[in-house]
Amino acid sequence: MLCTLIHLAKNQLEAKRHEISDLSQYTTKVIRESYNSEVEELVAILEILGDALKNQNPVEQPTRSTKK
């Protein structure tokens, strides 16, 4: 009887281990996809801002006199 209980407990622990492993893999996948999506979005924003800066007219900076 005790051996049967130990065997059942061992099987339940093994099932939980597999469940935790699957959840961990899923979580890692979701985090990776989210990270990649954020990186792609930031790269797109960077490209848009870079293009906007290239298309801007250069602003003339006033010349500074070193003499007082």
Token pair 């990186």 in the structure block, residue: 39
Please indicate whether residue 6 or residue 67 has the higher confidence score (pLDDT).
Answer: 6
25/47 Cα distance (integer angstroms): 33
50/46 Cα distance (integer angstroms): 6
The pLDDT tens digits for 3-51 are 999 999 999 999 999 999 999 999 999 999 999 999 999 999 999 999 9
Residue 7 confidence (pLDDT): 96
Please indicate whether residue 26 or residue 62 has the higher confidence score (pLDDT).
Answer: 26
Residue 43 confidence (pLDDT): 97
Residue 6 confidence (pLDDT): 95
